Amino acid sequence: MKIGTPMELAAGENRVAMTPDSAKQLQKLGYECLVETGAGKKAGFADAAYEEAGVTVVADAAALWAQSDIIAKVRIPTDAELGHMTPEKTLITFFNPGGNAEGLELAKEKGGNVIAMEMVPRISRAQKMDALSSMANIAGYRAVIEAGNNFGRFFTGQVTAAGKVPPAKVLVVGAGVAGLAAIGTSTSLGAITYAFDVRPEVAEQVESMGAEFVYLDFEEEQADGSGSGGYASVSSPEFREAQLAKFRELAPEMDIVITTALIPNREAPELWTEDMVASMKRGSVIIDLAAEKGGNCKLTVADEKIVTENGVTIVGYTDFPSRMATQSSTLYATNIRHMMADLTPEKDGKVVHNMDDDVIRGATVAYQGEITFPPPPPKTKAIAAQKPKEKAPELTPEEKRANEVAAFKAQTKQQVTLLGIGAVLLLGVGLIAPASFMQHFIVFVLSVFVGFQVIWNVSHSLHTPLMAVTNAISSIIILGALMQIGSGSWIVILLAALSVFMTGINIFGGFLVTRRMLAMFQKS
């Protein structure tokens, strides 16, 4: 079978659904690859590069649609493009089935099969095909770059001879894939980053990336993330009011706000109101990644950049992935290739459209003359919601002092008890054992006690492979062995030498392993 990629017709769209590298992988699955001439030019892939990869370059879109059994696209197909569909053809693209009823009806009428890449379920097995996440990742990164381009200061704080520059404060609303990408980029540039999301299970991810999670003083039973495919769900009116109140509190402090909140097949929720924009500082920037679905900011204008009367820049571009077309095309083409791998289990160049497969069924919106959207929930759950961890209450100085005194008393009591028991046992042994034995036995007991105290009090932050308890014990062994090498018995000397040799391997090997482990965390 033949898989073809036409040139994208949408204005300003620079991406392409097949790259020379992905074409080579598709050929290994048994497919013949076709591409319309000039389809990859804007993404940096010349026709010559496709020809070198064994791809047939077709002169125009009509010829490509006529020759191809599978068509891979990026943008929602036009009515003219859907007019080329036949019952034998399969179309793989972003389709927006929730807002494209006419397109679904036309696909049904033509009888072709349509796989919508944004409908790939968010389960572990389907991550390699999750084109929505791939594009959101790029959009989140690009949003921070776009914010920096419109922001008049550094992200990171600096102290220079010319004066002190405070770090920028960035708020990311929505900690999904795009939000986490924005958080990572923002923190790496040195900004003080805050993040908010209605799903408490993402708080740990946010904090692990160096940002501060914004909590609400509001208790609400959160929906299970698996029930909505891992996406955020609609919140109650009371929760929304608490959320807006928190944003109004934060708005005057923030320099940059990046909003990413979207629920599949719904209009974007309004989270940043007009009065919040009015309260922001002059020179602040808002990047609205939900502009395509109406925007999270009240004043966002899709595909435009505006400046409000109080000097706040609001960017509503809807083509962030397309602004990094080479990277976007590479990731999207890889998602398509993985989808084709699932559709070709025998790697024989023939599509097997298995509607019992969770991923294929979930992504299929039209099949054999029937509309199959919306799909049933996947059998495999996504992420389960978890309750936010309760923060430990802050103790007063008096309470801290009382806790320290209680801990000291308990530790002292334990040590006195152990010493008392040890003394009784030593006395019992001394009553029946000879004096020569007791002399060595007491030294042995004291050495064990001292060694235990020394080894066990090593800070956990210093524990590295083969360098904590084992090396401390090895040090004691090697000292004892060295003392016995001067013994008159050849058996003792032999055993002591073996002990020195083996513990030496352990100690020096531990240093080598630790050196390699620490090198993994060095940027150089």
CA distance 206 to 495: 55
Q: Which of 122, 142, 199, 361 is catalytic?
A: 122
Q: Which of 22, 25, 68, 133 is catalytic?
A: 133
Q: Which of 60, 67, 127, 348 is catalytic?
A: 127
CA distance 97 to 86: 19
Q: Is 127 a catalytic residue?
A: yes
Give backbone dihedrals phi and psi of 339, rounded to 5 degrees, phi first. -60, -45
Cα angle: 423, vertex 426, 429; to 5 degrees: 150
Residue 244 tokens read as 């807006």
Residue 76 tokens read as 């929602």
Collapse the DSSP code of 158 into the 3-class scheme (helix H, G, I; strand E, B; otherwise coil) and give the result: strand
Residue 363 tokens read as 């992504």
Residue 479 tokens read as 């000292």
Residue 242 Cα distances to 209, 219, 220, 249, 295, angstroms = 25, 10, 11, 11, 20
Comparing CA positions, the residue from 131, 132, 199, 123 lying closest to residue 379 is 123
Q: Which of 231, 317, 332, 367 is catalytic?
A: 231
Give backbone dihedrals phi and psi of 386, rounded to 5 degrees, phi first. -135, 150
Find the helix or strand (DSSP H, E) in which 399 lies.
helix 397-432
Collapse the DSSP code of 172 into the 3-class scheme (helix H, G, I; strand E, B; otherwise coil) and give the result: strand
CA distance 249 to 329: 40
DSSP string, 263-293: -TTSPPP--B-HHHHHHSPTT-EEEETTGGG
Q: Is 122 a catalytic residue?
A: yes
**What pairs with residue 114 in β-bridges?**
91, 366
Comparing CA positions, the residue from 225, 162, 229 lying closest to residue 199 is 225
Residue 201 tokens read as 């299970």
**What pairs with residue 90 in β-bridges?**
70, 113
Q: Which of 15, 130, 134, 141 is catalytic?
A: 130
DSSP-derived letter for residue 299 is T
Q: Which region, left, alpha or beta, applies to residue 12 given φ > 0 means left and ψ of -120 to 50 means alpha? A: left
Q: Is 231 a catalytic residue?
A: yes
* 140 close to 209: Cβ distance less than 8 angstroms: no
* 203 close to 213: Cβ distance less than 8 angstroms: yes
CA distance 262 to 132: 12
CA distance 208 to 499: 44
Q: Is 130 a catalytic residue?
A: yes
Q: Is 75 a catalytic residue?
A: no
Give backbone dihedrals phi and psi of 241, rounded to 5 degrees, phi first. -65, -40
* 359 close to 92: Cβ distance less than 8 angstroms: no
* 181 close to 137: Cβ distance less than 8 angstroms: yes
Residues designated as active site: 122, 127, 130, 133, 231
